[in-house]
A and B are shown apart, each in its own frame.
Chain A
Amino acid sequence: MKQFINVDSLTDIVSNSVGILIILAVVTLINDNSKSFQLEIPIEHQSDLSPVFIVAKNDALLVLDTDILFTNAASQATKGAAKGKRMFSLEYGQLYGQINQESGLVFHAREIEDSADWHHFNKLEKTDSALHQQLNKINPKKQFAYFFVYDEIENSSISGSGFEGFRMARKYLKSRQIKSGWKPVDSDHPASICDMSFNSLCKYLPSYLGSS
């Protein structure tokens, strides 16, 4: 006579466990899909604060020393290197300059990996880093940070090449009560610095919430 083994209890355990796992997976999926994120958008404001310019590209940041840049640009222009909107080396952070009547001094950042002036944004965590010290020099009562953020996308990335660096720097500056403004730049719309007294389109405004 054949003896049958009763496997009901085991089947019960297995099906229950698998069922619970499936339910958990479905619940997690539904929660993920319904998650909504409200952006907290700082709005541009007119300000008497003067801008400190920073370029964000390939997760690295370059704090611009405008004295050096304009001195170098003037030197190159005197030599005739800037004629006919030609590009010339600014000898600073692998930046190439171009003088444009409408946009002022235009910057093109190229091969920045070779430059020691650019700093990866994760250096912000180190208090003794050069980037940390450069940002700490910004006086919140007189200055604000203005970022030129490269929006060009790298391979398999989901973010613009300067977005993450900008976000981290802005967060750090906010903790120090320093206001920030920014605009996206790329090779067709490069970063530029011009004087508003020369051209009314040269506006660099800080962005912050009405409550801050």
Chain B
Amino acid sequence: MASRASRYARYLPENKLEISLFPFLSIFLCVMGVLSFINILSSINTPQKIEMTTELEQGYKVAFQIFSLPDGIITVPPLSRLVALQKIVSIETSDQIAQIITRRETVVNQLKAYKGQLGDLASDPDVDDIRAYLHEIRFINEAALKHNFLYEEFLLFGIYPDGGKAYHKVRDVMMKSQDANSISVGLEPLDANWTLNINGTPALKETGAHSK
């Protein structure tokens, strides 16, 4: 038989445990708020970042890119289709194209290996280097034309803010060069936050071909 106390307890109102959600909601909302704030702040402050590819083609025209910065220029030669061209030309031309590929690979590899700011990589345009590049492009274009290979390299200038001086220096050399007469030119203004995606440069797929 139940005692009097236990009978009394049976009729007492149930003592429910109430949990206050305030501290948890507070933490939750604080974290969400901070994250949202950081997100909004970064989207406002961080300028739009655009990465440009190093291999740029327009149909059969392939860009030999020259980025003109306040401290000089960065050259990004195209590589991807040269091996295919090399296969269809004569042995003598093939050897010359192999040398060009090797030189260009060295330039691209140096660019890829560089980890600093893009602007620090720029160097003052060297007249002899520019002449050599122009001669190289003309040679490749003429070889492609001779062998009915749909391939033409053109010079593409990416002009960064305050990059006009280096651009004019290159154009001055081009004006005096016979090789430049047959080379098409394109130029485009670039904003300071547009970066070059060096690592996006595709490597040569058929690496054996150019060393024959």
Query: Do residues B186 and A41 form an inter-chain contact, with CB atoms below 8 A?
Result: yes
* A77 at interface, CB cutoff 8 A: no
* A30 at interface, CB cutoff 8 A: no
Report the minimal beta-carbon distance from B81 to chain A, rounded to whole angstroms.
Answer: 16
Question: Which of B165, B188, B200 has the most A CB atoms < 10 Å from its CB?
Answer: B188
Q: Contacting chain A: which of B24-32, B90-98, B119-127, B130-138?
A: B24-32
Chain A residues within 8 Å of chain B by Cβ, number? 47
Chain B residues with CB under 8 A of A167: 189
Report the minimal beta-carbon distance from B179 to chain A, rounded to whole angstroms.
Answer: 16
Q: Contacting chain B: which of A60-68, A85-93, A131-139, A156-164?
A: A156-164
Chain A residues with CB under 8 A of B21: 10
Q: Give A32's nearest chain B residue, CB to CB.
A: B49
Alpha-carbon distance between A37 and B49 when the two chains are bound, in angstroms: 10
Contact with B along A151-189 (1 / 0, CB 8 A): 111000111100100110000000000000011111011
Chain A residues with CB under 8 A of B158: 39
Alpha-carbon distance between A10 and B22 when the two chains are bound, in angstroms: 11
With beta carbons under 8 angstroms apart, the residue of A33, A37, A207, A210 that contacts B187 is A207
Q: Give B60's nearest chain A residue, CB to CB.
A: A210
Alpha-carbon distance between A159 and B186 when the two chains are bound, in angstroms: 19
Query: Do residues A186 and B165 form an inter-chain contact, with CB atoms below 8 A?
Result: yes
* A13 at interface, CB cutoff 8 A: yes
Chain B residues with CB under 8 A of A184: 159, 163-164, 167-168, 187, 189
Chain A residues with CB under 8 A of B17: 3, 5
* A101 at interface, CB cutoff 8 A: no
* A36 at interface, CB cutoff 8 A: yes
Contact residues of A: prevailing secondary structure: mixed
Contact with A along B26-45 (1 / 0, CB 8 A): 01100110010001000000
Known: A5-B19, A18-B31, A36-B197. A41 touches B162 (CB 8 A): no
* A117 at interface, CB cutoff 8 A: no
Query: Do residues B162 and A43 form an inter-chain contact, with CB atoms below 8 A?
Result: no
Query: Do residues A14 and B200 form an inter-chain contact, with CB atoms below 8 A?
Result: no
Question: Which of B31, B39, B189, B192 has the most A CB atoms < 10 Å from its CB?
Answer: B189
Q: Give A35's nearest chain B residue, CB to CB.
A: B51
Alpha-carbon distance between A40 and B156 when the two chains are bound, in angstroms: 11
Query: Do residues B58 and A25 form an inter-chain contact, with CB atoms below 8 A?
Result: no
Chain A residues with CB under 8 A of B175: 201
Known: A32-B49, A39-B188, A210-B58. A153 touches B162 (CB 8 A): yes
Which residues B156-196 have CB closer than 8 A to chain A?
156, 158-165, 167-168, 175, 184-189, 191-194
Which residues A98-152 have CB closer than 8 A to chain B?
149, 151-152
Query: Do residues B167 and A36 form an inter-chain contact, with CB atoms below 8 A?
Result: no
* A209 at interface, CB cutoff 8 A: yes
With beta carbons under 8 angstroms apart, the residue of A3, A25, A160, A186 that contacts B189 is A160
Given contact pairs A149-B189, A160-B160, a sample of 4 additional A-B residue pairs in the complex whose CB atoms are under 8 Å apart: A158-B47, A184-B168, A209-B58, A210-B61
A-B pairs with beta carbons under 8 Å apart, 18 shown: A3-B17, A14-B27, A17-B28, A17-B31, A17-B32, A18-B31, A42-B186, A43-B58, A151-B159, A152-B161, A153-B192, A159-B189, A159-B191, A166-B189, A201-B175, A207-B187, A209-B58, A211-B59
The 4 closest A-B CB pairs, nearest first, are A184-B164, A41-B186, A153-B161, A160-B161
